[in-house]
Amino acid sequence: MTPQLSIPTISLDKALGMDNVRFVDVRSPKEFEEYHLPGAINIPLFDDEERAEVGTLYKQRGRDAAMNRGLEIYSAKLPWFHQQFQSVSKESPDAPLVVYCWRGGMRSGSVVLTMALMELPVIRLEGGIRSYRYQVVQELEAASRERKPFIVLEGNTGTGKTEILLALKQEGYPVIDLEGLARHRGSIFGRIGLSPASQKEFEAGLAAELNRYQTSPYYIIEGESRQLGRVLLPEFIVRGKKQGTRIRVEMPVAHRI
């Protein structure tokens, strides 16, 4: 009989409900950069080149060849991995380390199993970050069905729309800073000095903002186009902008300059 090893797991809802949890993303740096759980740190099992190599082996020679190569890479990194996890654990001694990969499969399972054997407080996230992506999509769909009215601030570049929105947000008004979420400065200045958000990262941030203002009877946004940098606005935001109450900001050209 093959012995069964028990890997401690936790659901996304339970993990997000914990006060002192630390999320550890063991996907490659490129995957992590695209989007990740809020507050997560990246301790990658494979770097981008290694992930590509293992993926190619899987396609060309099958699962066993990919697993063997993955094991070689991970085995060589075990001391480094232990040091990284130990360091994070020491920073937050009372916080469990919730580890995830894409589907909550082999990468996170391997890390959790070996780190648990070294007596570190590690737990695998059920479903990986795919469960988080699914939750974000569900939350956006729910928000689209609410059909709350929008107040839309519009005006030419330099009229201070963003400053007004941020001031209103500080006062507690339900402002959704679309440019901030997209990390984009609008039609004139674009992404100058910024690292633009991916579509998934933008949607995760948007879902969090919508949840934040769940009890609000309306939303306040800036009058953006359908595409903002690298991201596309959800249809219900575009519809809300078209149907919303518009407030236009005017300012002399000299002051705008």
Which residues participate in catalysis according to the annotation? Answer: 101
> In a 3-state reduction of DSSP, which class is residue 8?
coil
Number of Cβ within 10 Å of residue 61's Cβ equals: 12
Length of the chain: 257
Quote the distance between the C-alpha of residue 134 and its chain's center: 12
**9 has which bridge partners?**
124
Number of Cβ within 10 Å of residue 86's Cβ equals: 14
Which residue reads 């580890």 in tokens? 99
**10 has which bridge partners?**
125
- Cα 178 from Cα 240, distance rounded (Å): 13
- The one-letter amino acid code at 155 reads G
The dihedral formed by the CA atoms of 190, 194, 179 and 198, expressed in degrees to the nearest 10: 100
55 Cβ contact list (under 8 Å, min separation 6): 66
Residue 21: C-alpha distances to residues 12, 149, 238, 246, 257 (Å)? 11, 36, 36, 42, 47
